[in-house]
Amino acid sequence: MKKTMTISVLAASVALGLGVSGAAFAAKIPAGTPLAAKQEIVRNNGSEAESLDPAIAESVGANNLVRDLFEGLTATDNEGRVVPGVAESWKQKDPTTWVFTLRKNAKWSDGSSVTADDFVYGIRRFLDPKTASTYATTYGAFLLNGVEAAEGKKPVSDVGVKALDKFTLEIKTPYPVAFLPEVVSNGQLGPAPKAAIDKFGKDWVKPGNMVSNGAFVLKEWQVNSKVVLAKNPQYWDNKNVQLTRVTYLPIEDGFADVKMFLSGENDWVYQLPPGTYEKYKAELPKDIRNAPMLGLRYYGLNHKDPVMKDVRVRKALSMVIDRDILAAKITADGQVPAYSAIVRGTSGADVTSYDWAKWPMAQRVAEAKKLLAAAGLKPGSKVKFSYNTSEYHKKMAIFAASEWKTKLGLNTELENMEFKVLLKKRHDGDYQIGRNGWVADYNDASTFLTLVQCGSEQNDNFNCNPKAEALIKQGNQAQNPAQRKQLLTQATKLIMDDYPMIPLLQYTVPRLVKSYVGGYTTKNPMDRYRSKDLYIIKH
Amino acid sequence: MLFRSQQKAVAEAMAANLSMAAVEGRSPWADARERFLRNKAAVVSLILLSLVVLACVFGPMLLPHSYEDTDWDAMAMAPTWYNLHLFGTDDLGRDLLVRTLIGGRISLMVGLMATIASVTIGIVWGATAGFLGGKVDTVMMRIVDMMYAVPYLLIAILMVTLLGREFYLVVLTITVFSWMDMARVVRGQTLSVKSKEFVEAARAIGVSTGSIIFRHVVPNLLGIVVIYTTVTVPGVILTESVLSFLGLGVQEPMTSWGVLIEDGTGVMETTPWMLLFPAAMLSLTLYCANYIGDGMRDALDPKDR
Amino acid sequence: MWSYALRRVLMTIPTLLLVITVCYLMLHATPGGPFDTERKVSAAVMANLQAKYHLDLPLWQQYLLYLKSLLQGDLGASFRYADWSVNELVGNALPVSLAIGGGALLLSVIIGVALGIVAALRQNSLIDYFVMLVGNLGSAFPSFVIGPVLILLFAIWLSVLPAGGWNDFDPRYMVLPIALLTFINVSTIGRVMRGSLIEVLNSNFIRTARAKGLPLSTIVFRHALKPALMPVVSVLGPLAISSITSAVVTESVFSLPGLGKLIINGASNRDYTLVLGLVVLVTVFAVILNLLVDLAYAYLDPKIRY
């Protein structure tokens, strides 16, 4: 609860244009902490980065690397707070105009200055249809003419990004975007080294060619084996960077990951495999770390389906799933029960819930049975559940099927499939109940609302509530963050009362990080750790 | 006329004798049985395997649990007399003994059917290519080479998408991946057998090609075929679990040994019985199959006295 | 024989063309495209991506474009690994796979043949049963079980070897993966060798040699070994293909950057060019290996002529 407060208060203060002074915000090492002589770390990154080009990076892993190699106008620190990056301060001149003042000592790794023009070039390149970035319309939506440029309807020069002088950047948004300072911390909206890109083309991201402006530079990259970064001597804040060498591993197999952690080849397990959290919590209490993050596990309900079309059926299915047992016994890794499309810790809206969430289960079941009977769905009816194969999803699916069977008498046909096949079915509306999940791209309610908004790409439920849609539109135009928050919360409540989906659990990141890795906090709702904020304690 | 047909009959008999060496008066099958029984490991294996099969077929009917019933109060329990969970329970509280036996039905059935299918195709393909040689051999063998390169993941996904999830498709898909090795082995041996005297004798007197291949060549390959068949079995049984991962084949709550073992491997340090029992059943079966295979090879070997 | 070998090498071209065409059609028939992810991209972005990779062209045109670049030795750009060309990816993974797969193959031939000989000479004795019990470990337990057990034993309990990863052909990182692959292959080679040697030892010419009183070692190594190796050589082709190009489980258990990993990631990401590139590689591999096997036949059995 407290965490929610700090984050939203901070977001609000930033949004109000208070700005932040240019003090250094890195690796705040508690006084008296002895540091190890060897400041090196090995982090598993979960999978091989699809690209190190900040404009193209899409996955969590690729963005982790981009955050170390490049620095945007702002950054987020190890507690998820927005801190100055290349910009030392910023102002919201009017509701849709922001002015960022860049620090003059920010340098590329080749020694040249990072200028406002580098940002203009970087952002235009990111939105350029030829670059074909998958995030182009996601982040482009926050820039004036951004989406139009990404769609090729307007030239990229029309995008609302302008260099007022060498060290002053102006960004115009299509509507008041209170959380813009956080959005611009993403590498996609960062600077790009034009000279290197022109010289090497696609190969500019290879070791030896890459010019970057982050706390680290690219030293070595072996596909599917490792990426090695070294401290960047040209970085403006390099005296506050402790690590000299960061090795990222691309291990996908969770068990292999843990084994390398246990044998000492890896300091950072990307994510514990299902069913092992309790074991390592007991065996390695100093290394185990777990904290909720901005992510939601849910089951989508296809509104095009003749059975799921009925809100009574959707409500009954959602009511009888005991999230407390699911969290405590089935997934058993500290995840938090969820009853809304928006998870705790998200700024921009309050978390809504259902009245029945507090009812005793017997009452919920009785009510759900009534709803099903009214909808004409008799016990013994069949529902079809589609999921992509993974131990985790399988366990949850068997649990849900068992809840529907024992409490409602419904027979669930479990249908597992390969991930891309499921995606296709979901996007085509060729399913009844489908496994789904979402991790926030930025800390604002709007990222979660895309899951349930009319006609949104991310809405596989195909639900639409026009009233809520109007409220969201109204909220996005609101200049007062408190008013926007109130409108978005109201809209969320309206949408959730339609039962478009079954929210189940809020993600956590159960992982092992060696106890001597300093700077790792459990207060980072986006799970974004710059290696700049990490250090190795003497051990 | 008469003379020629007589000559042909004599030569054919000669060829048959040389190939099967059935010169003694006893039935070759009685001989084979006796030789098989001489191999103690094979006999013990046959008994054990029969027990495994019987347990898988009848066991689930005799046990008090169902393979799909979850019990939130008995999750991941070690083997215990409580509630008669003799193999313990899995991490959703389902009885592991009954799941292992049910899974055995699937794995044994898949193993048997897909092995027979791929071995048959392999023999016919390899013997034909090897015996005919020339262009036919080249084309048939290049098709085999190609089959190694086609990513099985795609075949499996396409099967599910285009044809559905029927059980026979599992057998079909596994067969598609598994017949090539046998074809190569059989072809190699055919090349060497076809230059033997009895084949030349049969050819000289005009026995039809088909009948030379299947009456004279293939019987001489049975030793290596039996051995290689037992090499094929484990791959076939485990491929099934890969397919079920891709959505083809058994779906939860139904299971198979491959799926149980794969689930068990992940938790081998916390709940080892989830790996131990299914893996023990599978390897017992595979070992039995191996020893029986060796025994059958000895039994069918025409030269072994 | 050389003209035979040459003809076989030339046959690679139509074989490749056929397999590329088949896989090309299969890839495009498989549901889900390279750019479908949990975060669905907007229609405009999808159009941008398709244009970037020429996926907006009609299928036959893309197909011809692919063949054209293939003729120039260019396997195209990868979708999954956006910063790399397929040539680079294959070039990086092939040496790793060759080292692990080739090393394991060599070891398993030596061990497998030796075990087979011992078992065959002691047919149906306790030694035979025991040798086959050990030799068959690799086929009786799935590799995804043996692998983690090896890691547990050598990397975590004894901590003498790394648990996984790859470090520029550092032998310490190669021991366990090679051991795992050897385990799997030895059981096949050992069993085939045993059966085949027993058969040869019972044949007339060996019986004659025995009757003449030649020592057993002479009989085995001078006379029986060569014909007995025929079926072993037959299985070496398929074993080499699977150990080198598709050691998926081994690579995943030990986190190795080999070809198997590329194949799995390529297919599950619908990385059309990467998959086709690997199909080309494996086909060439299969054709060459099986040619070598066929030439070995002629050496082992002089009666075989092409």
Averages of pLDDT over runs of 10 residues in chain A (539 residues) are 35 42 56 91 95 94 96 94 94 94 96 96 96 93 95 94 96 93 95 96 95 96 95 94 96 92 94 89 94 94 95 96 93 92 92 94 95 92 92 91 93 91 92 94 92 93 95 90 93 96 94 94 91 94
Q: How many CB atoms lie within 10 A of CB B137?
A: 20
Chain B residues whose CB is inside 8 A of the A325 CB are 72
Looking at residue A7, what is its pLDDT? 37
- In angstroms, the CA B108 to CA A272 distance is 34
Best A252, A325, A402 member to test B by mutation, with max B CBs in 10 Å, is A402
Residues of chain B with pLDDT under 70: 1-26, 28, 301-305
Whole-angstrom Cα distance, residue A136 to residue A125? Answer: 10
Exposure b/e, C35-56, CB count within 10 A at least 16 = b: bbbebbbbebbbbbbbebbebe
Provide DSSP, A300-326.
EE-TTSTTTTSHHHHHHHHHT--HHHI
Omega before residue C171 within 30° of 0, cis: no
Taking the Cβ of residue C3 and every Cβ of chain B, the question of whether any pair is shorter than 8 Å is answered with no
Which residues in A lie closer than 8 A to residue B75 (C-beta atoms)? Answer: 329
**Residue B278's pLDDT is what?**
92
Pairwise CB contact (< 8 Å): A418 & B265: no
Question: Class of the A292-508 domain?
Answer: alpha beta
* Nearest residue to A403 via CA among A338, A341, A316, A295: A316
Please give the pLDDT value at position B90: 86
- Of the candidates A384, A386, A383, A387, which has an alpha carbon nearest to the alpha carbon of residue A375? A383
How far A307 CA sits from the closest chain C CA (Å)? 25
Q: Could you identify the residue written with the tokens 């989906």?
A: A501
Q: What is the pLDDT of residue B26?
A: 61
State phi, psi for B265 to the nearest 5 degrees: -60, -40
Residue C26's contacts (CB-CB under 8 Å, 6 or more residues apart) are B150, B154, B155, B158
Give yes or no for a contact between A98 and A189, defined as CB atoms under 8 angstroms apart.
Answer: no
- pTM, two decimals, is 0.90
pLDDT in tens, B79-95: 888 778 888 888 888 88
For position A3, what pLDDT does the model report?
33
The answer to whether A377 and A406 are in contact (CB under 8 A) is no
- Which tens digits make up the pLDDT trace of C110-150? 999 999 999 988 888 888 888 888 888 888 888 888 999 99
Contact A52 C253 (CB under 8 A): no
Predicted pLDDT of residue C216: 81
CA distance C193 to chain B (A): 9
- The pLDDT of residue B136: 92
Q: Which residues of chain C are within 8 Å of residue A256 when distances are taken between CB atoms?
A: 151, 163-164, 252-255
User: Which CA distances in Å does A115 have to A187, B293, C75?
Assistant: 16, 75, 39
Cβ-contact A32, A236 below 8 angstroms: no
Backbone φ, ψ for residue B135 (5° rounding): -65, -40
Q: How far apart are CA A310 and CA A321, in angstroms?
A: 18
Give the CA count within 13 Å in the CB-facing half-sphere of C38. Answer: 19
Selecting from C145, C233, C283 the residue whose C-beta is nearest the C-beta of B149 gives C283
With vertex at residue C227, the alpha carbon angle to CA C299 and CA B188, rounded to the nearest 5 degrees, is 70
Our CA-based measurement puts residue A418 at a distance from the nearest CA of chain B, in whole angstroms, of: 5
Q: What is the mean pLDDT of residues C155-165?
A: 92
Q: In terms of Cα–Cα distance, which of A344, A390, A423, A439 is closest to A59? A: A439
Q: Count interface pairs B-C at CB distance under 8 A.
A: 189
More reliable by pLDDT, A121 or C213: A121
The greatest distance separating any two alpha carbons of chain A, rounded to the nearest whole angstrom, comes to: 72
| Chain A residues near any Cβ of chain B (below 8 Å) | 255, 273-276, 279, 325, 329-330, 389, 391, 394-395, 397-399, 402, 413-418, 421
CB A198 within 8 Å of CB A127: no
Give A31-247+510-536's CATH code, choosing from 3.90.76.10, 3.40.30.10, 3.50.30.10, 3.40.190.80. 3.90.76.10
List A512's β-bridge partners, or say none. A288
C163 shares contact with chain B (CB less than 8 Å): no
Domain limits, chain A: 31-247+510-536, 292-508
Q: What is the DSSP string of B197-223?
A: HHHHHHHHTT--HHHIIIIIIGGGGHH
Q: Which residues contact B143 (CB under 8 A, 6 or more apart)?
A: none
Chains with ≥3 CB–CB distances under 8 Å to C: A, B
Mean pLDDT of chain A: 91
Number of helices and strands (H, E) in chain C? 15, 0
Rounded to whole angstroms, how far apart are CA atoms A414 and A153?
44
CA distance C95 to A215: 33
A136 CB-near residues (< 8 Å, 6+ apart): A126, A127, A129, A146, A150, C45, C48
User: Distance (Å, rounded) from C-alpha B206 to C-alpha B11?
Assistant: 10
